[in-house]
A and B are shown apart, each in its own frame.
Chain A
Amino acid sequence: MKIKINNKDCKFEKGDTLIQVADRNGIHIPRFCYHDKLSIAANCRMCLVEQVGINKPQPACSTPAIENQEYFTKSELAMTAQKNTMELLLINHPLDCPVCDQAGMCELQDQALMHGRVKSRYEQEKRVVIDHNIGPLIKTNMTRCIHCTRCVRYGEEIAGIKEFGVIGRGESMEIRTYLTSAINSPMSGNMIDICPVGALNAAPSHMKGRTWELEEVKHISSHDCVGSNMSLHILDNNVFRVVPHENKKINEVWISDRDRFSYEAIDHNDRVKKPIAKINGRHTEVEWDQAFDIIKKRMSEIDANKSAGFISANSTVEEQYLFQKWLRENNIDNIDHRVSQSNFDHNDKDLMSKLDIPIKDIENSKSILLIDSNITYDQPILSHKIRKAFLKDAKINSIHTYNYKYNFDTNNSLLVNPNFLSETLIDIVEYLSVVTVNDKTLKNFNIPEGVKKNFKGLNNNSIIKISNDLLINNSLILLGSNLINHPEFQLFKVLTNIISILTKSHKGYIGEKSNETGAWLTGCYPSKNKNLNLDGKIGLNVYESIQEKLDLYIIYNLDLIDFYHYSELQESLDSAKLVIGFQSFVTEEDKHYYDIILPLATTYESPGTFINIENEWQSFVQGCTPHYTSKEGWKILTKLRLMQSTGVDKSLDYIDILNEVDSVVRNDTLHVKNNLDDFDVKKISSNKSLTRCGGKSSYYTDNIVRRAPSLNLVNSSTNLVSVNKKTLEQNNIDLSKNKVIVKQGQNTLLAELVIDENVSDDCVYIINSNKEHYDLGKQYQTIRIENV
């Protein structure tokens, strides 16, 4: 089918609107309210065009293309209509472009130049709208709002959390939040981008620079496993702001607030500005050369077998590759990245965090089961995909240890105590074993005896409903990242795998970090890996390394609280002979453990590659050169190899490293043993006492995010402890008081009490969002709660 626009033949498909056809054919029609990811509102009336035969101008955004019709976008009728709209829009719009953040990328400004009258005929007072403080991320200037309602529709449709509404009517209508409540949804910043004028601005960069002074560099997010594409806007070698970079397969045109505002951490007080060495028991700033010499000398005095290195799964593939290579060349095999994991049983089974369908296909799933995933806050982009599936009528179910808030509705949800989650999953296996008994395609799969022996008969209706939904074609199971440090996490993975086999569902283990796949592929774990040409023996994992109290610890791009065995680690570091840090940031308390700290460039200041959860390799260049005297990780590691390793005789440049990683790692897929026959469920603990649970606050997930000031203001009440009423009563807690004391071992913490029925029985739910939470003790261990 075709139509003619401005005398040009244009093809279209049924249901296309005029603006879509025009856009595809490179014909520009001005618009404000239309946005191709949002529903049509047709309220700005900027897109009026002429349809031959109709004497009224037609809005291109809402007018369906009609076979063989002719349209003109620049005829007199169209131009007059557009000009009129422009004049009307401007009567109440302030002419403050010189001080507006949006100037230079303002759709209104562009249109005004093209269509506006030179002098305004409107002489009355302009509308003035009072701005309210709506939180640390978005700074409003609502007098500039043109009521296009993009932000409102974004909240309703995309974010699934409506925060802005249309209040009042007529000329005095205002776009605002309820009363003066703050914006705190995890993807709110996208409203800044879709606002066509300067009404919604990024608060951190508000009034600090002009659009035309900025340089744009494409980058990949380092804050979750999604690998969102974004653009860094650079001003004077600083990240000025971060905006999405469209990637249809991953983040489309959105990014999470975490990805948008984390850059603010770059110049945090904790930043390591110069190499630091402990000389005569005192930390002293030294030059790089001196630091390298000290490392070389002191490492040579330590037995490689008594050494271990831990690297962040947020570091780049190149760094991870060089890190393990440097250590293995120096015969250090105790290498690991799984610092937040608590237990390493079943290690030889399916291990890697990964998603076995492309991210973009999540939205086509017909049924999705979330296993303890706080996905809306932890991986907002994945949550957005689930929301899309939900909007296409997929059945979404959830089994969780806390009743998380999602931006989609669930069909069935089951709240369980974390100590009984494995039993619940085994119940599902049991049910499935019955209903799939006649399935011939499962002939070759035997449910491991180790699981079967735990079958105990079924009586839970929700489990049956949830299991049945998984039997729907094209279903997906996602195991959340919250449980990563649960002692039975490996067991959950294996059980998830069994359920996915029985139901022929796709599955995903959602990782916490941006480059866990990279860490596996590059061998940043203690097992031997043939493809890496290592004849090495199997080293110690992170927990063993800490327990063994070794002589040398090397910690790369991690805060100490990133370790599940945080307190044990502190002891081991205290007794070690040498502790080396490669860090962008270090707190005063952490600093005391280190003998040497090398200032590491942050992800914004370094090139690199991340491999996301769907195994997509995404490389990026440096946004700005490293601040202070910090250096890119690859440079530091290359220099160390040159100094310490044998057989490395020339200084490699970055391209050589890329090539090497490419040839060694790119085509490697981990050969994981998928044989489950010998699998045995070892019941870790059946904890009858109160258990501490709760993940990390989504703005406390890594060493950059937790130092981003604006993000950390979003939910500023941090010392909260949530418990349900029944559990509180059983523990004789005075419900009228709003403070309690929680105790783990010798440690105590005074906290605010929230009575919360979203918490499962016998649990004390603490969102880890400050160091005190880690000092208190570990998750999934016994906790006590007492009246003050």
Chain B
Amino acid sequence: MNNNIRVNELCYSTLSSKNPNSFDTYVSLGGYSTWKNIVTTSYDRKEIIETILKSGLRGRGGAGFPTGRKWSFINQDSEDIKYLVCNADESEPGTCKDRDILRYNPHALIEGMLIASYAIGANTAYCYLRGEFMDDVYSSFKKALADAYENKLIGNNILKTNINIELHDLIGAGAYIVGEETAMLESIEGKKGFPRFKPPFPAVKGLFGSPTIINNVETLASVPKIMENGPEWFKSAGTKDSPGFKCFSVSGHVNKPGNYEIPLGTPFKKLLELAGGMKDGKKIKAVIPGGSSVPVVPGKVMLETNMDYESITQAGSLLGSGAVIIMDEDTNMVEVIHRIARFYYSESCGQCTPCREGTGWMFKIIDKILNGKANLEDIKTLESIPSMISGSTICALGDAAAMPVESFIKHYKNEFLRYINHENQNKEKIFSSNNNNEFVLQKK
């Protein structure tokens, strides 16, 4: 359809094969050759980190931190036990790219984890999948893992090289916050998912008190091909500051929602085209370009923006996890932010004050607005809350909850005002409630 875009060359490269997730398919496409090469030639660890650094690969979990730099924070000279953790907790609303990697290309992730473990000197790696994947991709991932073990690519004395790396699958039990890297460490240790304060950073004091690197599924799954084809190949796609490919989960009011792996810097327009254009021929109203945690961008602006870290920042938002949620002209923005606010209110771990109290306060005011019970004062209060939360919490969930609210009011204040002026009262609302008690979350 669109010949000038390179699609699905990296993490989704097995997609065109018949049995995309099988060990044989992966190997037939050249998989594990990098890993075999590394273990059999006692590859220099520093060189791997150097290669990743050169490629300009940035973390795909949301924060976009350069992966090579992150790895270099591990003190290679120390005798400490080190760990690698793969964040497969994918739960940022709008995001479903990692699930497809786990589903269709699990071996790329496994190989990536092995290379990363080797590079940072970890003998144990954990892949933490969200609990809801339990009877879905978790089983297929375990199968892939077993195949890799069987082929002596993992475990004791890998390919008779005296190299030992254990790779364990772990499963969560339902908590968005566990996607935050230090909350994940707590969860692995068998505790509640309460994020840790930093410093100390995980690279210094992480899992079980040892230096730990945490990376997203997509980040790690990108590693083998970068190693295989070299950083220049990776940089041949994308822009100078945002090199390479990125998976975008396009959802919402489009004809062909789906995951598209394309070069960074591709114009949003092209991506929208790939996704089949707007549903029912409607006009685009707004886009959340990086998962529900990032500010909303008006459709007009978005149509002029490219899909890379810098351009989207310029457009007033963030690339985040690459979840692109597209809304058409009929979308009720108050309802959307109501839904988003409710999510953060439900998922705040409750540990620190601004997030625990602030997410509830914001949701309750939005709920009041949606019910036509609010006045101008309420909107003013609502406008002031995000800044009370942002920047003062232990982890970034506070910011994630604050940014959307801030941006929705900024761009769509008139829609809020309409509720205050009782201009659209008749719409049925399933979840809004005038009785706060119904939102008591605690399991009795």
A42 cross-chain contacts in B, Cβ below 8 A? 197, 352, 394
Complex Cα gap A122–B361 (Å): 8
Contact with A along B410-444 (1 / 0, CB 8 A): 00000000000000000000000000110011110
Is B392 an interface position by the 8 A CB rule? yes
Complex Cα gap A59–B437 (Å): 33
Is B139 an interface position by the 8 A CB rule? no
Is B40 an interface position by the 8 A CB rule? no
Is A125 an interface position by the 8 A CB rule? yes
Would you call A170 and B436 a contact (CB within 8 A)? Answer: no
**Which one of A43-51, A224-232, A315-323, A579-587 contacts B?**
A43-51
A55 cross-chain contacts in B, Cβ below 8 A? 391
A-B contact count (CB 8 A): 103
Within 8 A of A (CB), among B345-387: 345-354, 356-361, 364-365, 368, 381
Is A294 an interface position by the 8 A CB rule? no
B57 cross-chain contacts in A, Cβ below 8 A? none
Complex Cα gap A167–B444 (Å): 11
Is A121 an interface position by the 8 A CB rule? yes
Is B311 an interface position by the 8 A CB rule? no
**Chain B CB within 10 Å, residue with most, of A87, A171, A174:** A171
Within 8 A of A (CB), among B146-165: none
| In the complex, residue of chain B having the shortest beta-carbon distance to the beta carbon of A122 | B361
Contact with B along A147-180 (1 / 0, CB 8 A): 1000000000000000000111111111000000
B436 cross-chain contacts in A, Cβ below 8 A? 124-125
B365 cross-chain contacts in A, Cβ below 8 A? 124
Within 8 A of A (CB), among B31-90: none
| Nearest-Cβ distance from residue A587 to partner chain B, whole angstroms | 47
| Nearest-Cβ distance from residue B189 to partner chain A, whole angstroms | 14
Would you call A170 and B197 a contact (CB within 8 A)? Answer: no
- Given A81-B392, A91-B361, verify A45-B352 contact (CB < 8 Å): yes
A89 cross-chain contacts in B, Cβ below 8 A? 353, 357
B359 cross-chain contacts in A, Cβ below 8 A? 170-171
Complex Cα gap A166–B193 (Å): 11
Complex Cα gap A146–B357 (Å): 10
| In the complex, residue of chain A having the shortest beta-carbon distance to the beta carbon of B381 | A121
- Interface size bucket, B side? 35 or more
Contact of A43 among B175, B351, B361, B391 (CB under 8 A): B351
Is B192 an interface position by the 8 A CB rule? yes
A124 cross-chain contacts in B, Cβ below 8 A? 361, 364-365, 368, 436
Would you call A170 and B392 a contact (CB within 8 A)? Answer: no
- Given A88-B388, A91-B361, A171-B359, verify A146-B347 contact (CB < 8 Å): no
Is A85 an interface position by the 8 A CB rule? yes
| Nearest-Cβ distance from residue A534 to partner chain B, whole angstroms | 62
Is B190 an interface position by the 8 A CB rule? no
B197 cross-chain contacts in A, Cβ below 8 A? 40, 42, 59, 62
- Interface size bucket, A side? 35 or more
Is B281 an interface position by the 8 A CB rule? no
Is B239 an interface position by the 8 A CB rule? no
| Nearest-Cβ distance from residue A193 to partner chain B, whole angstroms | 22
Complex Cα gap A62–B437 (Å): 35
Is B393 an interface position by the 8 A CB rule? yes
Complex Cα gap A57–B360 (Å): 22
Would you call A84 and B388 a contact (CB within 8 A)? Answer: yes
| Nearest-Cβ distance from residue B120 to partner chain A, whole angstroms | 24
B391 cross-chain contacts in A, Cβ below 8 A? 55-57
Would you call A166 and B364 a contact (CB within 8 A)? Answer: no
Would you call B443 and A168 a contact (CB within 8 A)? Answer: yes
Is A92 an interface position by the 8 A CB rule? yes
Complex Cα gap A92–B361 (Å): 10
- Given A168-B443, A170-B441, A172-B441, verify A88-B349 contact (CB < 8 Å): no
A85 cross-chain contacts in B, Cβ below 8 A? 353-354, 392
Is A536 an interface position by the 8 A CB rule? no
B357 cross-chain contacts in A, Cβ below 8 A? 88-89, 91-92, 171
Would you call A45 and B441 a contact (CB within 8 A)? Answer: no
Would you call B350 and A169 a contact (CB within 8 A)? Answer: yes
| In the complex, residue of chain A having the shortest beta-carbon distance to the beta carbon of B348 | A170
A41 cross-chain contacts in B, Cβ below 8 A? 351
Contact with A along B311-346 (1 / 0, CB 8 A): 000000000000000000000000000000000011
Is A64 an interface position by the 8 A CB rule? yes
Contact of A168 among B199, B350, B358 (CB under 8 A): B350
| Nearest-Cβ distance from residue A15 to partner chain B, whole angstroms | 11
Would you call B199 and A172 a contact (CB within 8 A)? Answer: no
Would you call A88 and B192 a contact (CB within 8 A)? Answer: no
- Given A121-B381, A125-B436, A170-B349, verify A88-B441 contact (CB < 8 Å): no
Complex Cα gap A547–B292 (Å): 86
| Nearest-Cβ distance from residue B56 to partner chain A, whole angstroms | 27
Complex Cα gap A85–B123 (Å): 42
Complex Cα gap A122–B194 (Å): 26
| Nearest-Cβ distance from residue A83 to partner chain B, whole angstroms | 9
A146 cross-chain contacts in B, Cβ below 8 A? 353
A91 cross-chain contacts in B, Cβ below 8 A? 357, 361
Within 8 A of B (CB), among A644-687: none
Complex Cα gap A565–B436 (Å): 67
| Nearest-Cβ distance from residue B257 to partner chain A, whole angstroms | 30
Would you call A84 and B381 a contact (CB within 8 A)? Answer: no
A172 cross-chain contacts in B, Cβ below 8 A? 350, 440-442
Contact with A along B252-273 (1 / 0, CB 8 A): 0000000000000000000000
- Given A44-B353, A62-B197, A174-B442, verify A88-B348 contact (CB < 8 Å): no
Would you call B345 and A170 a contact (CB within 8 A)? Answer: yes
Complex Cα gap A167–B442 (Å): 8
Would you call B356 and A173 a contact (CB within 8 A)? Answer: yes
B199 cross-chain contacts in A, Cβ below 8 A? 64
Complex Cα gap A1–B102 (Å): 50
Within 8 A of B (CB), among A173-229: 173-174
B352 cross-chain contacts in A, Cβ below 8 A? 42-45
Complex Cα gap A501–B346 (Å): 63
Contact with B along A42-86 (1 / 0, CB 8 A): 111110100000011101001010000000000000000100110
Contact of A166 among B192, B348, B441 (CB under 8 A): B192
B356 cross-chain contacts in A, Cβ below 8 A? 147, 170-171, 173
**Chain B CB within 10 Å, residue with most, of A55, A64, A121:** A121
| Nearest-Cβ distance from residue B367 to partner chain A, whole angstroms | 9
Contact of B350 among A40, A87, A173 (CB under 8 A): A173
| Nearest-Cβ distance from residue A77 to partner chain B, whole angstroms | 10
| In the complex, residue of chain B having the shortest beta-carbon distance to the beta carbon of A149 | B351
Would you call B348 and A84 a contact (CB within 8 A)? Answer: no
B358 cross-chain contacts in A, Cβ below 8 A? 88
Complex Cα gap A171–B436 (Å): 12
A171 cross-chain contacts in B, Cβ below 8 A? 345, 348, 350, 356-357, 359-360, 441
| In the complex, residue of chain A having the shortest beta-carbon distance to the beta carbon of B441 | A172
Complex Cα gap A549–B177 (Å): 76
| Nearest-Cβ distance from residue A419 to partner chain B, whole angstroms | 43
Complex Cα gap A46–B349 (Å): 18
**Chain A CB within 10 Å, residue with most, of B347, B381, B388, B437:** B388
Known: A45-B353, A88-B358, A172-B440. 14 other contacts (CB 8 A): A43-B394, A57-B391, A62-B197, A84-B392, A88-B361, A89-B353, A124-B436, A147-B351, A169-B192, A170-B346, A170-B356, A170-B441, A172-B350, A173-B350
Binding site for A on B (CB under 8 A): 175, 177, 192, 194, 197, 199, 345-354, 356-361, 364-365, 368, 381, 388, 391-394, 436-437, 440-443
A-B contact pairs, 8 of them (CB 8 A): A41-B351, A43-B351, A48-B392, A56-B392, A81-B392, A92-B357, A124-B368, A171-B357
Binding site for B on A (CB under 8 A): 40-46, 48, 55-57, 59, 62, 64, 81, 84-85, 87-89, 91-92, 121-122, 124-125, 146-147, 166-174
